Amino acid sequence: MSNISPGVYTKIIDLSTFVQEVPSSTGFIVALTPKGRDNQLVFLGSRSELISEFGEPNISQYTKAYGQGPYMAYNFLGESGSLYFMRVLPEDASFATLVLDTAMDATSANSSITVTSIDSTAANTLADLKTSLESAGGTKPLCVLYPIGRGDYYNSISVKFTTYSNPIVDGIYILDVYEKQSDGSEQVVESFDVSFEPTATDSAGETIFISDVLKKYSTILRAEMTLTSGNYSSGYDLIVKVFDKNIGETTVTKTALSASIKDLKQNFSDWQKASETGLANYSVMAMDARGVKIYGWLGAASGDGNDEVAIFNWRNFDSTATVQSWIGDTTLFNSDGPITYKIKKSFLDISTAFGTDVPLKNGSDGELISLGGGLNTVVATELLAKGYSDLIDDNVMDTENVYFNLVFDCGYPTSVKDAIVSMTDTRRDCLSILDNGDNASFTDAMTSRQDSHPYNTYLSAIHEPYNKIYDSFTGREIWVSPIYHMSYLLPRNDKVGEQWYATAGFTRGVIQTIKEMRFNPKIGHRDQMYLKQLNPIVKFNPGYTVWSQLTTQAKPSALQDINIVRLVLYCKRALEEYCKYFIFEQNDAFTWAQVSNNIQLFLESIKSRRGLYGYSVEVSATEYEIKKKTFHVNITLNPTRVVEKIELNFFIK
């Protein structure tokens, strides 16, 4: 737009763009755990987050072949605060649940509440839980409580609702969450002030609606009151929803046979029971300034504009027990001071169903655990393989929004390793770190490499052998995959050095915790393992160390080295993200120069940090490319190689 009249007109043009670095060590692990969110990609930033949601590592829970995932995750998070983690369960696993049901019939003076659970065959998904909130005859479900994940573990969780201690407060409860401890005792692990009213807030204006509070603050529980239609449960209408409340100055007549409530600005005709037969539809709770409460059912409205309504002590007007009077101790109720009231379908203290804590029930791991209580290894293998693909959570293959560059095998069967290699080859932006199985000897290791794990790709690397460590979680020595050590050595390398440094040798590959190895490769063995791209841990006199850093690529090239592959993947991700900002910019020399200059600055930084011997950048577009609305960025990298052999020559004269 052109400016015509005189004046100063300003534009701000940002020429300060630059290539932003990307995280150097972000991992991805799929595992079996007894608790936590299941079948979804979860980002973890610390060990405490891992243990809080998924529990401590315990190899005895799922055996050595399936139980090492949490150990690798724990190790990785000790060095890097950036891990994607997925707990997997079969489709027939179920939520442990606790359902609050309400009911009110013709003979009730008030509504009643019961606590039930959903059968395991009807609690496999969140949609199933919403379905359970549908009305069933006279039963009006209010709320279903369920854990953040499915599984048998959550049957050890129980809850208790207690009425709020302040008598002035109405409809607010203290929710205590109990968890069974290893000694069999139950301990309160979480406690919240909650309400079943969606608009309820605390004194600071923060929501205390039970669904909001648990979603925001609980690491264990969630609550659902919403139907698939979007409406609230029928139990909400019955005992929680307020249909009207005090508008103007309120007075209460406590006298039996003439009990009533009056509000000069109210019209009670919408809530009244005009005929003195049948069932009342609405009740009222009146509260004085000290918090003393009295209750009653609404009869016929009267007065100017129906501003007064008769109060009865029984819902069924056909009953001889029905009297025009209040329910509660009217002698304690101060009718001379300020009075507030609420009109509802009925009044009920939900805590009456919780004389003690009540357990969630019917949680199940489904077919993952056999009828005899053991792990179903066929199902476990299938689940882990699916977790490392996009068959459980398609975010795993979302390279635009989910970025990780290290994928860890955790001693899993070959078909799971196959899925890991396939996933990294498809994403093309991450490196899979694998073991070669638990092999008793060098000969077994070579056979396994040739027959079971014949991978040939620069996006995967294989390590040997299994070794024994002391496990502080179980208090005993256990055999673990070599990836147990790579899961902390790789992010530690990135923290103390650069990811284009080799995670091997006596500077960054030393291991302090090994007690014993299946076999210790001698120099002749190491030569053969090198030719098959197997990376051994070796015991030398100074100690144990990782003594190779090859990918599985058979073709001799720079991409046979893990450190160079990581350098290339790092540059690829950073420059892809940078170049996105030039989509729809002018395809001319100005844009090309801007892109070229910033890429050179980025690569010069890597060169100064010993990642590159040199590089070249060429950005432009041919006449044909311009017609295709394209320009090319040609980058040549000369990565810095590592030392693998030192020729020590003595010349004697």
Q: For 397, phi and psi rounded to 5 degrees?
A: -100, 10
Comparing CA positions, the residue from 471, 390, 336 lying closest to residue 57 is: 471
Q: Output 16 or 186, whichever has higher pLDDT.
A: 186
pLDDT tens across 287-298, in order? 999 999 999 999
Residue 418's H or E segment, with its range, is: helix 414-427
pLDDT at 214 over 70: yes
Write down the H helix ranges in 388-413. none
Q: How far apart are CA 639 and CA 566, in angstroms?
A: 11
Question: Given this model, what pLDDT does residue 108 score?
Answer: 56
Task: Find the mean pLDDT for residues 445-472.
Answer: 98
Q: How far apart are CA 317 and CA 315, in angstroms?
A: 6
pLDDT at 426 over 60: yes
CB 288 within 8 A of CB 337: yes
pLDDT tens across 111-145, in order? 788 999 999 999 999 999 998 898 777 788 999 99
- Which of 100-109, 239-248, 444-453, 598-607 comes out lowest in average pLDDT? 100-109
Dihedral in degrees, nearest 10, Cα atoms 509, 513, 515, 520: -10
pLDDT tens across 332-351, in order? 999 999 999 999 998 888 99
Confidence of residue 107 (pLDDT cuts 50, 70, 90): low
CB 256 within 8 A of CB 288: no
pLDDT at 229 over 70: yes
pLDDT mean across residues, the chain: 93
The type of residue at 550 is L
Q: How far apart are CA 71 and CA 83, in angstroms?
A: 13
Task: Find the mean pLDDT for residues 383-393.
Answer: 96
Dihedral in degrees, nearest 10, Cα atoms 521, 525, 526, 531: -140
- Say what percent of the chain tops pLDDT 90: 82
Task: Find the mean pLDDT for residues 256-264.
Answer: 93
Q: How far apart are CA 107 and CA 111, in angstroms?
A: 10
Question: Given this model, what pLDDT does residue 577 score?
Answer: 94
Confidence of residue 148 (pLDDT cuts 50, 70, 90): very high
Query: Which residues have C-beta within 8 Å of that of residue 146, sequence separation ≥ 6?
Result: 95, 96, 97, 98, 123, 129, 221, 222, 223, 224, 360
Question: Given this model, what pLDDT does residue 561 score?
Answer: 98
Confidence of residue 505 (pLDDT cuts 50, 70, 90): very high
Q: Is the dihedral of CA 153, 154, 155, 160 positive or negative?
A: positive
* Residue 139, number of CB atoms within 10 A of its CB: 14
Q: For 163, phi and psi rounded to 5 degrees?
A: -60, 140
Q: What share of the chain is helix, strand, coil (3-state, %, to 5)?
A: 25, 25, 45
- Which of 72-76, 327-331, 632-636 comes out lowest in average pLDDT? 327-331
CB 130 within 8 A of CB 211: no
Comparing CA positions, the residue from 419, 398, 395, 415 lying closest to residue 407 is: 419
Residue showing tokens 């990780």: 404
Task: Find the mean pLDDT for residues 16-44.
Answer: 91
CB 403 within 8 A of CB 369: no
Question: Given this model, what pLDDT does residue 557 score?
Answer: 96
Confidence of residue 110 (pLDDT cuts 50, 70, 90): low
CA distances from residue 377 to 32, 63, 66, 381, 473 in whole angstroms, order as listed: 11, 10, 8, 6, 23
Question: Given this model, what pLDDT does residue 106 score?
Answer: 54
CA max distance for the chain: 127
CB 246 within 8 A of CB 254: no
Question: Given this model, what pLDDT does residue 643 score?
Answer: 96
Question: Given this model, what pLDDT does residue 475 score?
Answer: 95
Q: How far apart are CA 224 and CA 74, in angstroms?
A: 32
Q: For 652, phi and psi rounded to 5 degrees?
A: -105, 125
Burial class (CB in 10 A: 0-12, 13-18, 19+), 281: middle
Ordered domains of the chain (ranges, CATH): 27-91+366-563 (3.40.50.11780), 98-240+351-359 (no CATH), 244-344 (no CATH), 585-653 (no CATH)
Confidence of residue 105 (pLDDT cuts 50, 70, 90): low
Q: Output 337 or 433, whichever has higher pLDDT.
A: 433
Confidence of residue 8 (pLDDT cuts 50, 70, 90): confident
Task: Find the mean pLDDT for residues 243-263.
Answer: 93
The type of residue at 620 is S
pLDDT at 316 over 80: yes
Task: Find the mean pLDDT for residues 526-542.
Answer: 97
Dihedral in degrees, nearest 10, Cα atoms 411, 416, 421, 426: -140
CB 294 within 8 A of CB 285: yes
CB 109 within 8 A of CB 314: yes
Query: Which residues have C-beta within 8 Å of that of residue 22, sequence separation ≥ 6?
Result: 403, 570, 573, 574, 577
pLDDT at 97 over 70: yes
Question: Given this model, what pLDDT does residue 109 score?
Answer: 56
Question: Given this model, what pLDDT does residue 369 score?
Answer: 94
Q: At what angle do helices 47-54 and 69-77 cross, to 10 degrees?
A: 150
Q: How far apart are CA 526 and CA 249, in angstroms?
A: 92
pLDDT at 36 over 90: yes
Task: Find the mean pLDDT for residues 272-286.
Answer: 89
